[in-house]
Structure 1
Amino acid sequence: MSLKLRLKPFERVVINGCVVQNENRRYTLTISNFAQIIRGSDIMQDEEATTPVRRSYFVIQSMLLDPGAADRHAPIIASMMADLYAAFARPDIQNHIMQSMGYVAERDYYKALSSLRPVLDYEDVVLGRPKGRPSGHNEQHAAG
């Protein structure tokens, strides 16, 4: 199954750690096999990683953006996620954390980020933050 990315003029996308930038007009890019993809405008910035869940999300995103460094981040994210699991008593939230870690173990970082999004939303509720997602909420993923 293919994924079609419609890129705006000058839009950037990261595909398996490689930054691709569109030229000055709209363009459709077809991804025909599995790839880790995130639009440049959706990448969470370092300064946005201000809470435990956001920091975990940022580390997983870093693994997606730099596959060569993923092994170095693996023990870090395992420890962070274990702490999150212990911190949240709600079984549904713990389930999302476990799903995310399962996807990290499979090196499917897009799905790991997707599984962690409900935890981000819940953390915002617990912290009394306005509802909204960080940058990094519209990643794309292709599987072939």
Structure 2
Amino acid sequence: MTKPMRINLKPGERIFINGAVVRVDRKVTLELMNDVCFLLESHVLQVEDTTTPLRQLYFTVQAMLIDPRNAHSALGLFQQQIEALHQAVETLTLLEALAQVEMLVTRDRLYEALRQIRCLFAMEDAILAKPSTASTVPAAPRAARVPVLESTL
């Protein structure tokens, strides 16, 4: 038997558990007794914040986790986005991290994939902040945004 996971929530905070949105009206501690897919509200990216290729990728994986019934269609979008990133990125460290993200998604380890993508945001921000001529990520992928799924949040 796995050890229960305890999650502390503040009043008004939401958690997404197996596709359900749960909001608490007072401070509570949830104890998850078995394996479950969940996402804390503080890790949920809103559609208006999907301003870079990695944030768009994060949003797609997030949609797969939050809405498992529609995960198949989101998986197709994920595959398009990851392929576009593989073609646009030249930084070896970032390419290796993207390969890790892709492996996690194919193994249905979505929460871990989200955590990996979140860790890449700072690197992406630094790359995109460089002048276009020195950037390892061409400006086109940023301007030509990959379509994102509408949030149900």
Using the size of structure 1 for normalisation, the TM-score is: 0.82
Q: Which residue of 2 aligns with 1:85?
A: 86
- TM-superposed deviation, 1:14: 0.5
1:121-136 equivalences under 5 Å are 121-128=122-129
- TM-superposed deviation, 1:34: 1.9
Structure 2 counterpart SS, 1:4? strand
Q: Which residue of 2 aligns with 1:37?
A: 38
1:104-119 equivalences under 5 Å are 104-119=105-120
- TM-superposed deviation, 1:85: 1.8
Once residues 21 and 100 of structure 1 are traced to their aligned partners in structure 2, the CA distance between those partners, rounded to angstroms, is: 29
Structure 1 counterpart SS, 2:90? coil
Question: Would you identify which runs of 4 or more consecutive aligned residues in structure 1 move more than 2 Å?
Answer: none
Q: Which moved more, 1:110-119 or 1:60-69?
A: 110-119
Kindly provide the amino acid, as one letter, of the partner of residue 118 in structure 1: C
Root-mean-square deviation (Å): 1.5
Greater Rg over alpha carbons, structure: 2
Q: Which residue of 2 aligns with 1:48?
A: 49
Verify: 1:28 aligned to 2:29, yes or no.
yes
Deviations 1:41-79 (A, max 9, x none): 331000000111111111111111101100111121011
Verify: 1:99 aligned to 2:100, yes or no.
yes
Structure 2 counterpart SS, 1:10? coil
- Count of residue pairs brought into register by the alignment: 128
Once residues 121 and 85 of structure 2 are traced to their aligned partners in structure 1, the CA distance between those partners, rounded to angstroms, is: 11
Using the size of structure 2 for normalisation, the TM-score is: 0.77
Q: Which residue of 1 aligns with 2:140?
A: none
Structure 2: 5+ residue stretches without partners: 131-153
Structure 1: 5+ residue stretches without partners: 130-144
More strand by share: 1
Once residues 12 and 75 of structure 2 are traced to their aligned partners in structure 1, the CA distance between those partners, rounded to angstroms, is: 33
Q: Of the two structures, which has the highest relative contact order with CA contacts closer than 8 Å and spacing of 6 or more?
A: 1
